Chain A
């Protein structure tokens, strides 16, 4: 009982004790709060300051201007043209529906466009603008600008779009630009790629030179509220334009060659025999890269991909042809190298008998030496000599002159074809049994390869390099970027051998050879060359690919160099289904070379030709664009 007595004195003591405990607890919590405050404000200060700044300041990317591409004389090939565009800044958009309706009216937007904008608006967040339309004509741009006060969130601005003054002439060479795809963004994770209006290289040099051409994006630094409202603009970070890139190409020559190829499906390469500079690399017909840089329409794409003349294919690098007789100068070098006397004569009775098979020649050339054999393109001579030396030895020379080789070029892809030999055939036989009948190299394989048929397939650039190496005797490598200053080292082929072969090629054009009609009309400058005609399909009976359907006709090829006495330029022309090298390809080579020495004369000749074809390349491109437009409209109407 005594223990349980709890008097008011005890109570008062207990109260004081409990009050002390409570006050102590309160002080402890107070100290904890002060400590926490100090920790956040002093120890963690920098961390939180950074977070606060990244809250406050946002960077609006200003895309850099793409670097120009210029030719060897600094003439622009790809430039940036200022254009007008209209974007929406989602956070500032107040009345999405009426705004979009007004924009649709003002800008003539299609239903698809509006759908896309609505879709992107739904996913949008923050201050990242969304593209409504680009390449807006000035009157429409002005119409939007005038009504801006009633369209909050709409942001009309000036942008830049890629422009190629020469249009299709540089299509395959330069490629084109386009908006980055989702896959490309995933790969790089660069927010610049999803900035409206920003384009990256999609094809050709635009793609391979992307890192050099792109430049550094700038930024408009802005202070934004949590809801993305602009408070003020801070000092901007300037963008750095991409570096200009100078090509070895001669833009004027490139354009001329493109025009000269006219309506044919073909290609023309011309390079400098000392340095390997590629002065011209044209494949026609070509797409207009300007249509891609604006975003190509479905109709136009379909027309391009359905065209039998394959305007989407770069025929210089990605088309392979049997070279036909154009490799006979190379064969001759190989024969000389293997001890064949150039004066030795072979009798051509119109063909060559191997066992029980008779391999035809194009004529009865009688008794021919090496020079005559090249000039007359006598198959019999090369059958006989090839058979004697063996193709494995010829293939060595073929590779030495660049055939079947892949060159170190900034291109998206190169098809490098085949220079066959016995080892190759054996390997291929084991890889694809059904395709080849026998694993061992036969004499008829040698005969076929000796006249540029059979397994031998090459691209036109390789033919041009071959011509250039024969002409200059130098180990040139084709070059697209910059201008070569030093001549390439010598190949180490006996100059006497080269002279013999060049002599044969001189006779092709300037003697009584196959391309006598394509002699240059410039005093003191003589073109040398070698024609070739490649079969597209097997000769069946009398049908020799000289008539009938366009797509079964023979290809016409021509390799050349000029001038004869001091070789400077070399090249190759291939005209698909052009019937023959002398008929289709050599005249193009003649005109392109003429342009290098006498522009006026070349242009006069060209004008005459273009009148037959129905206008200049630009006029025909415009007409084609109109046709595309009409087809697209017709398709839209029926849809």
Chain B
């Protein structure tokens, strides 16, 4: 909040600290994309700047949405997105070996992206409506599990392991925040540990290979382990201060695959070093902390759960991507939001931020009135 006589009220009331943070992260992303293209604004940097500007505007626009509107659209959004997932399954366009897109002619929609905020809204709505005393009952669990399980199953079918995992993580996090008893998480957690070998058997060949390679990347440094090896080389060779802007040999000489999308963090750290990487991690941490504060300050249960869930969405995006890029998690194809080139992640994160800003605005307005 900036108070000044010169700046008009509506502008002054925007959460400028968040907007600066987001702009900063996006700026780092655009600068890195400029370098990843060999020092050119084409084909990525300009396009990414336009996409971010557009969705940032959309997010700011969304911040005037009222909480009651958000509540009302929670169910329709969930139903529509689930329907779209089914459509993708049936008539989906085959690309990259996975069915993920609906081609509407003017835009290609990836409905699983919408499911990330979608699952947060529907679960928040569900736990809001659930009587407080029922939270330890079976009826607090199975509808939520079904609400998560159905779309996750559809997304797994595509197959898109990264998104499916993220949607499950987000859903489980909302359930956790809502107060579902610990044992509900511990028992399936144990069961999952047992089930992992079974699931592993059921995975697709390339998915299984990714996990194998994750466990032992050196086993195939030129084949499927290539991504992780090269990414670690890029990050490790950057050192504390990096090789200097536009001097990253790993990305510029194409040794680092996907250096502008999933592995953009490696591209950035190679040139900016530990200092640049830590700066970016802290910037994301502040964004997530801002979101968590919105949740803590929220007055209604819906707002609390929604804000926490949306913050978790951003958190999972960032942490899964960074773990993957630094060799702590298998390569599951989760981009680094606002930094990786590509519209869908930017769109999802901006939708989340827009909803968070809307909830935050209402906290302020109500507090003003009090």
Contacts and interface: CB of A to CB of B under 8 A. Distances in A.
A226 B328 contact: no
Contact of B281 (A6, A11, A18, A34): A34
Interface stretch (A45-53, A308-316, A492-500): A45-53
A33 interface: yes
B15 interface: no
B281 A56 contact: no
A40 B235 contact: yes
7 contacts: A6-B132, A15-B177, A18-B176, A19-B296, A22-B312, A52-B233, A225-B255
Contact of B326 (A14, A16, A33, A45): A33
Contacts of B304: 15
The residue in B178, B230, B322 that gathers the most chain A C-beta atoms within 10 A of its C-beta is B322
Contacts of B43: none
A34 B132 contact: no
Contacts of B230: 55
A44 B327 CA distance: 13
A22 B295 CA distance: 12
Contacts of A396: none
B121 interface: no
B236 A41 contact: yes
A26 B236 CA distance: 24
Consensus secondary structure, chain B interface: helix
A48 B235 CA distance: 8
A225 B256 CA distance: 10
Contacts of A36: 323, 326-328
B86 interface: no
Interface string A13-47: 01110110111001001101110111011101101
Contacts of B362: none
A33 B177 contact: no
Contact of A14 (B173, B179, B254, B277): B179
A30 B239 contact: no
A460 B173 CA distance: 96
A29 B319 contact: yes
The residue in A30, A56, A225 that gathers the most chain B C-beta atoms within 10 A of its C-beta is A30
A5 interface: yes
A182 interface: no
Interface in A168-213: none
A327 to B, nearest CB: 68
Given A4-B136, A30-B281, A49-B236, A11 B301 contact: yes
Contact of A37 (B132, B234, B281): B281
A68 B327 CA distance: 55
A600 interface: no
Contacts of A23: 289, 292
Nearest first, the 5 A-B pairs at minimum CB distance are: A48-B236, A52-B237, A41-B274, A14-B179, A226-B254
Contacts of B234: 52
A8 B178 CA distance: 12
Given A22-B173, A33-B323, A48 B136 contact: no
A40 B177 contact: no
A29 B284 CA distance: 13
A56 B253 contact: yes
Given A52-B249, A225-B254, A7 B132 contact: yes
B193 to A, nearest CB: 18
Given A33-B323, A226-B255, A41 B177 contact: no
A11 B278 contact: no
A128 to B, nearest CB: 16
B44 interface: no
Nearest to A17: B179
A320 interface: no
Given A22-B312, A37-B235, A30 B285 contact: yes
Interface string B209-246: 00000000000000000000010111111111000000
A56 to B, nearest CB: 4
Interface in A140-180: none
B166 interface: no
A231 interface: yes
B250 interface: yes
Nearest to A57: B249
Contact of B232 (A16, A21, A48): A48
B85 to A, nearest CB: 27
Given A6-B133, A19-B177, A41 B239 contact: yes
A42 B277 contact: no
Given A15-B304, A49-B236, A6 B253 contact: no
B237 A45 contact: yes
B315 interface: yes
A227 interface: yes
Contacts of B278: 34, 37
A242 B3 CA distance: 82
Contacts of B147: none
Contact of A18 (B177, B235, B236, B274): B177
A29 B133 CA distance: 33
B133 A52 contact: no
Given A18-B177, A41-B269, 13 more contacts: A6-B135, A18-B176, A18-B178, A19-B177, A19-B295, A38-B274, A42-B274, A48-B232, A49-B236, A49-B239, A51-B237, A52-B236, A56-B253
B296 A16 contact: yes
Contact of A26 (B133, B134, B273, B315): B315
A637 interface: no
A574 B178 CA distance: 108
B33 interface: no
A224 interface: yes
B308 interface: yes
B136 A6 contact: yes
A202 B148 CA distance: 74
A214 to B, nearest CB: 32
Interface string B310-326: 00100100010011001
